[in-house]
């Protein structure tokens, strides 16, 4: 193909734009300068339309995108014209940043053209990368997924350009397919403008994979068999670190080595992964929270091996009633790491089936000074989902934990389905059952939910039933022995008279009702109303005039040492106000204040967060959350301060220091990390952790150096 051919089809919900992939035999230098002749001969994508602020209208700044390939890489060349280039926002050098303060280009690739799942690649004007896996049209977006690709960007008097090379070995696809899904989005941060080539309707967006455009001419793409191994070596020095078991304190220097991950492409669309004696020392520490409820807090997974392709294993209600949750593997209840001997995983696609298999073995832990032990355990998960109809699926899951001190085994099985009945209406449901020695009867759960969402109205309804003996030891369930009824409605308006100031108003109400499963008596009822205003400059304000919670305590609730709330039924009434400033500026803040009754007393809560981005190298963040609780049984206060300093020397050398001060736990912690990305997917980490305070027997300190090297063919 020769000459500049423009993709000028105007997208509508019933018409998808299409671009044809061009092949080049000339070398492409990824330097952010689109000076190779192959770019001039490629078809041009030009017709970008606004999703925000004015749906469907042409973008205010011109964008031109081209896509070509050779035998090993898929290339994107994008010119983002800007009439005010000196106002381009570019302040973030952190890989996998959300670019909430920056201009950016996003690329979506549906390589199976299954209208459900996709890769997402994003670049800001500094060339900083973010990659993610999109599952089930955004039901799960795994930003922690990383792969090897290359990007460079440059700013000039006409705007900015970006050049991207994605190795075909980094993608999964079917050989010989003639069409992929593709979409491109551009965010102009100072205007709060989001423009897309396709799927620009406000109810859709980039993650609505089924509404993406089409990439033709891909039948000649061939993925080389992926062979990758990423070993690591690490050394750490410890002082006063408590072991998992025993009363002794660990001090001194230790070294370790292992395979962080090894990958082999079984087929172009199916990949096997393996890890041996992995070390997750570089994973970011958990953000501390102050928990004033009687339920467990859900902490997200942060370990690389478990984050890879995690979306395929998603089953149930994330963070509330999840059949499988990877933090049950290799971590104790209080978050202490249990060594992993090995792990194996197979994920990918076989025809119309998405499949996932995971098996991990943890190491036995014993101590001479205590009868406690953690036995060797094996964890197995199998997941399969079949694509049905246009964008729906049906699937099943099986989980197994073998070995343990409480139960010799724990197993679970379930089926689920997601039905997309229209572009605006979907239904999701699941049924699951667990098998635990000594626990029989009421050992199952099921849920049905329905959601409708368009530009004006969002409706959401749920019925969920969880038996008292339902016991997903490889999952997460906040409550058991309950029935939940939930209904929510949001009405959205965009006042045209104030469109230059006020973008959208949202009015939300919901009713949530938890009943004891056997007697159907009330456990918790919540009635909530709120109003939120989103302003044109990205600032927002909200007011929650009423949040009423009726909570029945069947047994006393120890909320703090020395303070116990008696059993009974309590009426908690609360109001809240808050907001945030313009997120496009160097200085940004948000906060809230809430007040009301609380278990027969009163509670006042205030929080504030501040961020200052001096430039692309330095950013400062501070936040504080304060609670004052006055109860008949006693009064107390909590204060949680979080501060972060980030200094990035370049895209390859990144450093951050995180400070957390928790008055409730009476501890303070420091996590400092330097990352040197000396080649793609290969790093040297320097990590320092320190925890001190009256809540500990003695201060603990640990310094670690970790080196990884990615061998990939």
* pLDDT tens, residue by residue, 430-451: 999 999 998 889 999 999 999 9
Asked if residue 2 has pLDDT above 80, the reply is no
pLDDT at res. 636: 95
The least confident of 240-249, 360-369, 444-453 is 240-249
If one compares 667 and 524, the residue with the highest pLDDT of the two is: 524
Element (H or E) spanning 38, and its range?
helix 37-40
Residue 53: is the preceding peptide bond cis (ω within 30°)? yes
If one compares 445 and 367, the residue with the highest pLDDT of the two is: 445
Model confidence band, residue 5 (pLDDT cutoffs 50, 70, 90): very low
Asked if residue 12 has pLDDT above 60, the reply is no
- C-beta of residue 129 within 8 angstroms of C-beta of residue 121: yes
Interval 682-693: pLDDT, tens: 999 999 999 988
Cα–Cα distance, 92 to 613 (Å, whole number)? 9
Residue 150, Cβ neighbours under 10 Å: how many?
Answer: 15
Asked if residue 227 has pLDDT above 80, the reply is yes
Interval 311-356: pLDDT, tens: 899 999 888 999 999 989 988 777 778 899 999 999 999 989 999 9
Model confidence band, residue 8 (pLDDT cutoffs 50, 70, 90): very low
pLDDT at res. 246: 65
Torsion angles phi and psi, residue 38, rounded to 5: -60, -30
Asked if residue 1 has pLDDT above 50, the reply is no
Query: What average pLDDT does this structure show over 392-399?
Result: 97
pLDDT at res. 7: 36
Query: What average pLDDT does this structure show over 179-206?
Result: 96
> Which DSSP string corresponds to 87-111?
G-------TT---TTS-EEEEEEET
pLDDT at res. 13: 47
Task: Count helices and strands (H / E) in the chain.
Answer: 2, 48
Cα maximum dimension of the chain: 81
Cα–Cα distance, 519 to 102 (Å, whole number)? 54
- C-beta of residue 224 within 8 angstroms of C-beta of residue 257: no
pLDDT at res. 309: 79
pLDDT at res. 370: 65
Asked if residue 6 has pLDDT above 80, the reply is no
Asked if residue 464 has pLDDT above 80, the reply is yes
Interval 634-657: pLDDT, tens: 999 999 999 999 999 999 999 999
213-216/18-20 β-pairing: parallel
Q: Which pair of tokens denotes residue 49?
A: 């339309």
pLDDT at res. 122: 97
Cα–Cα distance, 199 to 50 (Å, whole number)? 10
Beta-ladder partners of 347: 271, 356
Mean of all residue pLDDT scores within the chain: 91
Model confidence band, residue 251 (pLDDT cutoffs 50, 70, 90): confident
Residue with tokens 């996932």: 356
Q: Helix, strand or coil for residue 492?
A: strand
Model confidence band, residue 666 (pLDDT cutoffs 50, 70, 90): confident
- Strand extents, DSSP E, 268-367: 270-276, 316-317, 321-322, 340-350, 353-362, 365-366
- Strand extents, DSSP E, 6-98: 6-7, 18-20, 22-23, 44-45, 49-52, 63-69, 73-81
Burial of 426 (0-12, 13-18, 19+ CB in 10 A): buried
Cα–Cα distance, 299 to 380 (Å, whole number)? 21
Q: Cα torsion at 93, 97, 101, 106 (round to 10°)?
A: 100
Interval 74-119: pLDDT, tens: 999 999 999 999 999 999 999 988 898 999 999 999 999 999 999 9
The least confident of 68-72, 179-183, 340-344, 367-371 is 367-371
């Amino acid at each position: 193909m020769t000459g500049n051919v423009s993709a000028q089809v105007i997208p509508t919900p019933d018409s998808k734009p299409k671009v044809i992939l061009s092949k080049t035999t000339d070398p492409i230098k990824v330097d952010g300068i689109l000076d190779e002749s192959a770019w001039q001969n490629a078809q041009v994508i030009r017709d970008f339309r606004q999703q925000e602020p004015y749906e469907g209208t042409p973008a205010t700044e011109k964008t031109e995108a081209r896509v070509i390939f050779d035998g090993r890489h898929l290339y994107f060349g994008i010119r983002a014209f800007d009439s005010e280039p000196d106002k381009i926002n570019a302040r973030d050098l952190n890989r996998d940043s959300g670019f909430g303060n920056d201009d950016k280009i996003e690329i979506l690739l549906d390589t199976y053209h299954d209208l459900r799942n996709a890769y997402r690649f994003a670049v800001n004007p500094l060339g900083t990368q973010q990659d993610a896996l999109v599952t089930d049209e955004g039901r799960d977006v795994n930003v922690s997924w990383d792969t090897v690709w290359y990007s460079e960007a440059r700013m000039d008097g006409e705007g900015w350009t970006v050049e991207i090379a994605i190795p075909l070995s980094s993608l999964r696809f079917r050989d010989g397919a003639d069409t992929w899904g593709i979409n491109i989005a551009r965010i102009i941060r100072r205007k709060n403008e989001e423009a897309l080539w396709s799927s620009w309707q406000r109810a859709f967006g980039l993650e609505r994979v089924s509404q993406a455009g089409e990439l033709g001419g891909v039948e000649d793409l061939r993925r080389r068999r992926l062979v990758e191994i990423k070993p690591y070596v690490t050394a750490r020095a410890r002082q006063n670190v408590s072991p998992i078991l025993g009363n002794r304190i660990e001090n001194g220097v230790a070294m370790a080595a292992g395979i962080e991950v090894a990958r082999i492409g079984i087929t172009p669309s199916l990949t096997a992964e393996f890890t041996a004696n992995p070390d997750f020392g570089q994973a970011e520490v958990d953000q501390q929270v102050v928990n004033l409820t009687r339920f467990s807090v859900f902490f997200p997974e942060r370990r690389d091996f478990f984050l890879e392709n995690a979306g395929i294993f998603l089953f149930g209600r994330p963070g509330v009633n999840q059949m499988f949750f990877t933090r049950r593997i290799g971590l104790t209840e209080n978050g202490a790491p249990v060594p992993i001997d090995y792990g194996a995983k197979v994920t990918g696609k076989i025809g119309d089936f998405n499949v996932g298999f995971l098996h991990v073995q943890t190491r036995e832990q014993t101590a001479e000074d205590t009868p406690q032990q953690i036995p060797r355990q094996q964890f197995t998960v199998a997941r399969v989902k079949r694509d049905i109809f246009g964008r729906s699926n049906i699937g099943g899951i099986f989980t197994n934990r073998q070995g343990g001190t409480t139960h010799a085994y724990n197993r679970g099985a379930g089926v689920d389905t997601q039905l997309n009945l229209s572009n605006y209406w979907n239904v999701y449901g699941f049924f699951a059952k667990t098998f635990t020695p000594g626990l029989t009867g009421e050992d199952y759960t099921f849920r049905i939910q329905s959601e409708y969402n368009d530009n004006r109205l969002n409706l959401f309804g749920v019925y969920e039933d969880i038996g008292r003996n339902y016991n997903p030891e490889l999952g997460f369930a906040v409550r058991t022995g309950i029935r939940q009824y939930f209904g929510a409605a949001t009405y959205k308006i965009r006042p045209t008279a104030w469109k230059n100031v006020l973008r959208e108003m949202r009015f939300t109400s919901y009713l949530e009702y938890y009943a004891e499963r056997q007697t159907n008596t009330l456990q918790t009822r919540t009635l909530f109303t709120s109003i939120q205003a989103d302003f044109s400059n990205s600032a927002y304000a909200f007011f929650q005039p009423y949040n009423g919670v009726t909570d029945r305590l069947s047994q006393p609730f120890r909320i703090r040492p020395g303070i116990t709330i008696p059993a009974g039924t309590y009426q908690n009434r609360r109001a809240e106000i808050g907001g945030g400033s313009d997120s496009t500026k160097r200085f940004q803040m948000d906060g809230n204040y809430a007040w009301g009754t609380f278990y027969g007393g009163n509670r006042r809560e205030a929080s504030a967060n501040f961020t200052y981005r001096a430039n692309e190298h330095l950013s400062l963040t501070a936040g504080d959350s304060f609670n004052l609780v006055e109860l008949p049984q006693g009064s107390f206060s909590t204060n949680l301060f979080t501060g972060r300093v980030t200094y990035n020397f370049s895209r390859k050398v990144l450093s951050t220091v995180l400070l957390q001060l928790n008055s409730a736990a009476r501890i303070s912690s420091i996590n400092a990390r330097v990352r040197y990305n000396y080649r793609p997917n290969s790093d040297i980490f320097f990590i320092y952790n320190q925890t001190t305070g009256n809540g500990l027997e003695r201060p603990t300190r640990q310094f670690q150096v970790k080196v990884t090297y990615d061998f990939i063919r």
